[in-house]
Amino acid sequence: MNLEMQRFKADFFKALSHPLRIKILELLSEGEMSVNELQSLVGSEGSAMSQQLSILRSKNIVVGTKEGNRVIYSLRDPMIVELLQVARKIFNNHLIDVMNTLDKLSDE
């Protein structure tokens, strides 16, 4: 069971390991959006957007719902929003540590 969980986590984080995918998730944390809406906000090519959305769908991180001739994407699990917030806090903590180290070095 433990190995299965570790594999799931590794696959999950691998799916998050691209800046465009993170940007997509940040946008979807604000609400559902179509591919065209995501593209216009990100300024990315259609093929790149489709490729990244496909990866997120394959890992069950986002879901696409067909509405007429367009697909509306949303986060599959609202806890993704919390995960992104935690990642931001970890990043901020890292920056604080770097800044403190630089301050100590400049004092020497």
Q: Which CATH number covers residue 71?
A: 1.10.10.10
pLDDT tier for residue 28 given thresholds of 50, 70 and 90? very high
Q: Is 44's pLDDT higher than 70? A: yes
Any domain includes 58: yes
Please count the structural domains in the chain: 1
Instruction: Evaluate whether residue 53 is within a structural domain.
Output: yes
**Max alpha carbon distance in the chain (Å)?**
65
Structural domain includes residue 18: yes
Domain-located, residue 21: yes
38: in domain: yes
Distances (CA, A) of 24 to 16, 57, 72, 77, 106: 10, 12, 13, 14, 39
Q: Residue 1's pLDDT is what? A: 66
Residue 84 lies in a domain: no
Instruction: Tell me the β-bridge partners of 64.
Output: 73
Lookup result for tokens 């999950």: 12
Going edge to edge, which strands form the sheet with 62-67?
33-34, 70-75, 62-67
Q: Check whether 23 has a pLDDT greater than 90.
A: yes
Tell whether 20 is covered by a domain: yes
Does residue 56 form part of some domain? Answer: yes
Which residue did the predictor score with more confidence, 87 or 101?
87
Range of the domain at 38: 2-77
Q: What is residue 103's predicted lDDT score, i.e. its pLDDT?
A: 77
Mean pLDDT value of segment 32-60: 91
Q: What digits encode the pLDDT tens for the residues 49-90? A: 999 999 999 999 999 999 999 999 999 999 999 999 999 899
